Amino acid sequence: MKDAEMQRLEAGMEIDGFRLEQRLHKGGMAFLWAVSRVAPVPGEAPLLMKIPILGDNDDPTAIVGFEVEQMIMPKLAGIHVPHFIASGDFTGHPYIVMERIAGESLRARFDHAPLAVDEVVAIGARVASALHDLHRQHVIHLDIKPSNIMFRASGEAILIDYGLSRHDKLPDLLAEEFRLPMGTGPYISPEQVLHIRNDPRSDLFALGVLLYHLLTGERPHGHPNSVRGLRRRLYRDPVPPRAINPRVPPWLQEIILRCLEVDPSARHDTAAQLAFELQNPDQVKLTSRAAKQARDGLLTVARRWFHAVGMESAPMQSAEQQLARAPIIAVAIDITHGSEELAESLRVAARRILQTAPGARLACVTVKRTSRIGMDDHVDRQGRNIHVKHLVSLKHWARPLGIPPEKITFHVLEAPDPAGAIVDYARLNDVDHIVIGSRGASALRRYLGSVSSQVVAEADCTVTVVKGAGAREEAAPPPQAGTGR
């Protein structure tokens, strides 16, 4: 099914044994359809199909986020997540089928804020319990907001939409490919602003924002739409909830302001501890937070600002912790002008390297060349999304290797300079070894320089250049200290 056809979905159409019944919602990144099985399963709950919007969608994060959700949802279980049913890959029909939850999301209650204290406390306790269950499954949600929270008829909170999430046992594709903060402006934690995605207490910050909004009708840090606006939460504290709504008890202000601390270590250690305090207010230890009636003074804010400036060059511990588990081998593949001979040689070289490092992870990379000035096409002549087309080609290349899904990732970079994009990707993600193909010598390549020779010259890691079947491999070691790079 082509991208253009996926956008003309109609009731009655069948996709991989599921029949489209009714379109429920069209968001910025996906369609939501009520579906049924062509061959019904007795007693099965109502089903929902999520289908990404492709076509002329020029936001690659939407495509990567859909892949993240496809990886994570089958790993989840329990009452606090939608039950996963099936999924389709970009090589065929991209979709996710899951349990369809009845009712509205928590977003509907925000239209009536501020709410009664008892209702807000009950909501917070249920969401915190759901977060604790999620964190025990090695997942940090990283996009907790009202529209991503629903409730079962029995009362338990359900967390939906895992497109921005991180699973500790799976590759973090979003962190590897993008350098802007990921999330929804009002709910992004300070550490997420700094590109740190491995702390479950980020979800507690978002829950604190949610509780603050439900109690006051306002957001603690507004609704910023720029990185500069997001960074204000690194040094500017919010107006205390009791200064806006005097009905907020001191113990609840203590909890909310603790959730909103800039330093994750100053928040609750776990979501379970937060849920416990919400259900046992007499156990809450009150500090100066509980009595605050105004924002901190300018001197305190200035000290925090200087500290936040120093955070600019702080190392991203989350990337180091993730990537230290195993070496990363990046194979750079020219999808646009590929040849099966060179593709097979790249596979042979990759297989040989992986055999020497059983714990390694393979990153398959290609570059979609973009213009330095002007507009680029996002679809080909057949109406297919070019980014998705490259992604499918990478997966076809890798299939003969038979690598387990948790050991391989696929990345379509978009840049005017392919060699520079590959080098930057390797540097930002601590790649240990790049394998890249070369098409041999020509007068033009000798004059202008090839992509592979530029990668060899600029990369900070080992580079293996492969020249096709029967040709030799040229391994270039990483630059030595004192070379000027």
Q: What is the pLDDT of residues 401-422, one digit of tens each?
A: 999 877 888 899 988 899 999 9
The CATH code of the domain that includes 339 is 3.40.50.620
The CATH code of the domain that includes 94 is 3.30.200.20
Residue 8 has pLDDT above 90, yes or no: no
Respond yes or no on whether the N-terminal peptide bond of residue 114 is cis (omega within 30° of 0).
yes
Residue in this structure with the two tokens 């056809």, named with its chain if needed: 5
| CB 419 within 8 Å of CB 368 | no
**Do 87 and 158 fall into the same domain?**
no
Tell me the range of 56-60, 331-335, 356-360 where mean pLDDT is highest: 331-335
**Do 79 and 140 fall into the same domain?**
no
Q: How far is CA 446 from CA 338, 413, 434, in A?
A: 20, 25, 22
- Determine what percent of the chain is predicted with pLDDT higher than 90: 55
Mean pLDDT of 246-256: 98
Q: Look at the chain and report how many structural domains it folds into.
A: 3
Please report whether residue 483 resides in a domain: no
**Do 141 and 259 fall into the same domain?**
yes
**Do 78 and 158 fall into the same domain?**
no
User: Quick one: pLDDT band at residue 222, thresholds 50, 70, 90?
Assistant: very high
- For 107-239, strand residue ranges (E) read 139-140, 149-151, 157-159, 166-167
Query: What is 110-130 written as a DSSP string?
Result: HTTPSPPHHHHHHHHHHHHHH
User: Quick one: pLDDT band at residue 470, thresholds 50, 70, 90?
Assistant: very low
CA 21/CA 11 separation, integer angstroms: 5
- For 38-75, strand residue ranges (E) read 47-52
Using a 10 angstrom Cβ sphere, with 0-12 exposed, 13-18 middle and 19 or more buried, the burial of residue 49 is buried
Q: Which domain holds residue 24?
A: 3-99
| CA end-to-end distance (rounded Å), the chain | 47
**Do 199 and 222 fall into the same domain?**
yes
User: Quick one: pLDDT band at residue 440, thresholds 50, 70, 90?
Assistant: low
User: Quick one: pLDDT band at residue 314, thresholds 50, 70, 90?
Assistant: very low
CA 315/CA 116 separation, integer angstroms: 43
**Do 63 and 114 fall into the same domain?**
no
CB atoms within 10 A of CB 235: 20
Which of 298, 318, 337 is the endpoint of a domain? 298
**Do 403 and 455 fall into the same domain?**
yes
Q: Which residues of 286-318 are buried (b: 16+ CB within 10 A; e: fewer)?
A: eeebbebeeeeeeeeeeebbeebeeeeeeebeb
User: For 367-412, what is each residue's pLDDT tens digit?
Assistant: 988 876 655 677 777 777 888 888 999 999 999 999 987 788 889 9
| CB 331 within 8 Å of CB 462 | no
pLDDT at 406: 77
